[in-house]
Structure 1
Amino acid sequence: MTTVERLVEAHADSVGESPLWHAGEAAWYWVDIEGCALRRWRSGLFQSWTLGERIACLALHAHGGLVAGLESRIVHLALRDDGGLTIDTLAELAHPKPGMRFNDGRCDRAGRFFAGTMLRDMAAAQPVGALYRFDARGPSQPLIDGLIVPNGLAFSADGRTMYLSDSHPRRRLIWAFDVDAQGMPQQRRLFVDMNHHPGRPDGAAIDADGCYWICANDAGLVHRFTPDGRLDRSIAVPTAKPSMCSFGGAHWDELLITSIRPAGDTSEAAGATYIARPGVQGLPETPWTPHPG
């Protein structure tokens, strides 16, 4: 049985997301979307920086610092010597509707940054979200559109398969795609129908065996699916709404799990960040490299 422990005592996020291991700093990063905050846990020290807008997803930057998806722009975040945070815009995106923001995002194995967008009002259930790829020239055209809440973005070890979910209650699907040399997802196919499993498919990670770990939001679980889409195991989390998981640690054997605190939920477990050691290793994330396109 895998033990799941709280990482930071007496701390909770509104919408914890995008855990990321920074090996160079031996530090965990993650975000609180609605708190407009970047978090860091390093050597037992918890730090936080507040931005002026919602921050949804993170990746490493090849030249240092982090890449982040905010409400309508992709930025470079860099920590200054005085402890402050420098924010430089890399690309801006014109959303098709007001009230939208970025959601899940990460780099593929070639260092290309992918991020999805969504309408913040999930109750509206509008399929206006899309998946984009970003390079030095800015955002691509939508690679995949018609999404309500894009999530579960992950890439196989060889970079040839991309996984993507839609976590909205009306969808609850995970797809797999072939990825060509230019980073274009093709041959969309159903990987897992989460309507047949507990929870909604939120954020995800890939382990060294090629298995896909997905947070089962509303079910208090993290599922592990084999490359052929078979449910291999599930880990119980002490809160109902785990949101995203990521591998890291010195030996890549730690699984960090963020969670959401719904409005009115005053339990100590909701919104906490958890760490588990499930007995498998993950894969290092590739930093974003400013490809010319």
Structure 2
Amino acid sequence: MAEVELLIESRAMLGESPVWDADQGCLYWADLYAPSIERYRLSDGQQQRWPMPETLGAFGRSVEGRLIVAMRSGLYFFSPANGELEYLCCPSEEPRAETRFNDGKVAPNGRFVIGSMDEVERSRPLGSLYCVDIAGNSSHLKSGFIVANGLAWSADGRRMMFSDTRRDTLYTADYCLESGAIESPRVFAVTDPALHGRPDGGAFDMAGGYWSAGVFGGVLNYWDAEGRLARQVRLPVPGPTMPCFGGADMKTLFITTLRKGMTPDELKQAPLSGSVFAVEVDVPGVPIAVFGGAGTQASSLHRKTLVGSCP
């Protein structure tokens, strides 16, 4: 049985979006409703916190040491070095009063894919997936989500995973590295909230397996490449939100959690809710790309729209 380690004791209302920075040996993560971005250095436990002006959705690493951050009003560059925010764009019809940005991750081609969700009723298919490049050009990838979630890419970058948390469904699709398009989306697995929790954030390993946070179920679910549940890791809290791989050998899963919506009795039974945990696994994870990094045009002087198809 895997040993679950408490890494960062926190009372985050909605801990999310863990991002590993191998260059610094640091884990970034966010408390979406604080709102703030946090950084934890593994070598000595040093922590740093940057308050944000708006509710967060997700973020990723960007070129020049910056982060690409999705907030309520759009996407921004953030510089941890000086605390500066710079507006980039707001994809398509977002934001709306009924929605907010949710899960987001840098794709293998260096573009940022961000999903949205129905924030008010959590039952209407108002969410979408968008793709944004370093120059701020955006394209609409897919609509019809209640809560767009679970973004991850395989080691070769050609297979994509995503989920709709409120539909209890994991999807897979072919991903076109050249255009950034999602092709042939299909159901990968249908989950049972009583057994698996609900599918939240996810991460691919190098064997093609997919780790999914089973929010409200207190488990991490490991689905093999064929969509079979191969392993579960139980956590000491009911609300895991997203795993990400990191550590020197990329065999550590860092897991953010929530305490939002929990009753006083539930918090008494799971007082570490909102903390960050770590689990050692046997298969290393797929490294996450940098926004505007290899495979993209990093200069705003060379704007291009995200169109076209794979040969």
Q: Residue 274 of structure 1 aligns with which residue?
A: 277
Unpaired runs of at least 5, structure 2: 298-302, 305-311
Counterpart Cα distance in 1 of 2:95 and 2:20: 33
Q: Which structure 2 residues correspond to residues 4-19 of structure 1 after superposition, within 5 A?
A: 4-9=4-9, 11-19=10-18
Shift of 1:202: 0.2
Counterpart Cα distance in 1 of 2:215 and 2:122: 19
Distance 1:96 1:102, change over 3 A: closer
2:192 is equivalent to residue 189 of structure 1: no
Which residue identity is paired with 1:226?
D
Please report the TM-score for the alignment, with normalisation by the length of structure 2. 0.88
Query: Residue 36 of structure 2 contacts residue 51 of structure 2 at CA under 8 Å; is this kept in 1?
Result: yes
Which residue identity is paired with 2:209?
C
Which residue identity is paired with 1:185?
I
Q: Residue 300 of structure 2 aligns with which residue?
A: none
Distance 1:58 1:96, change over 3 A: closer
Q: Residue 174 of structure 2 aligns with which residue?
A: 178
Distance 1:7 1:74, change over 3 A: same
Q: Residue 211 of structure 1 aligns with which residue?
A: 209
2:92 is equivalent to residue 54 of structure 1: no
2:247 is equivalent to residue 246 of structure 1: no
Shift of 1:137: 4.2
Counterpart Cα distance in 1 of 2:122 and 2:26: 37
Q: Residue 66 of structure 2 aligns with which residue?
A: 65
Which residue identity is paired with 1:183?
G
Shift of 1:139: 4.7
Query: Residue 104 of structure 1 contacts residue 151 of structure 1 at CA under 8 Å; is this kept in 2?
Result: yes
Which residue identity is paired with 1:257?
I
Name segments (4+ residues, structure 1) moved above 3 Å.
263-267, 290-293
2:158 is equivalent to residue 160 of structure 1: yes
CA deviation profile, 1:216-268 (whole Å, cap 9, x unmatched): 11110001111110111010111011000000011111110001103334342
2:89 is equivalent to residue 91 of structure 1: yes
Query: Residue 199 of structure 2 contacts residue 212 of structure 2 at CA under 8 Å; is this kept in 1?
Result: yes
| Identical columns (%) | 33
Shift of 1:39: 0.8
Query: Residue 178 of structure 1 contacts residue 188 of structure 1 at CA under 8 Å; is this kept in 2?
Result: yes
Q: Residue 24 of structure 2 aligns with which residue?
A: 25
Q: Residue 218 of structure 2 aligns with which residue?
A: 220
Helix, strand or coil at the partner of 2:33: coil
Helix, strand or coil at the partner of 1:205: strand
Distance 1:124 1:281, change over 3 A: closer
Distance 1:143 1:61, change over 3 A: same
Q: Residue 108 of structure 2 aligns with which residue?
A: 109
Counterpart Cα distance in 2 of 1:159 and 1:188: 15
Shift of 1:72: 2.8
Counterpart Cα distance in 1 of 2:229 and 2:187: 14
Helix, strand or coil at the partner of 2:192: helix
- Say which is worse superposed, 55-64 or 264-273, in terms of deviation: 264-273
Distance 1:29 1:124, change over 3 A: closer
Please report the TM-score for the alignment, with normalisation by the length of structure 1. 0.93
Query: Residue 122 of structure 2 contacts residue 146 of structure 2 at CA under 8 Å; is this kept in 1?
Result: no
Q: Residue 235 of structure 2 aligns with which residue?
A: 237
Helix, strand or coil at the partner of 1:56: strand
Which residue identity is paired with 1:261?
R
Shift of 1:58: 1.6
Query: Residue 132 of structure 1 contacts residue 139 of structure 1 at CA under 8 Å; is this kept in 2?
Result: no
Shift of 1:142: 2.1
Query: Residue 72 of structure 1 contacts residue 102 of structure 1 at CA under 8 Å; is this kept in 2?
Result: no
Equivalent pairs counted in the alignment come to: 286
Q: What CA RMSD, in Å, does the superposition of the two structures yield over aligned residues?
A: 1.6
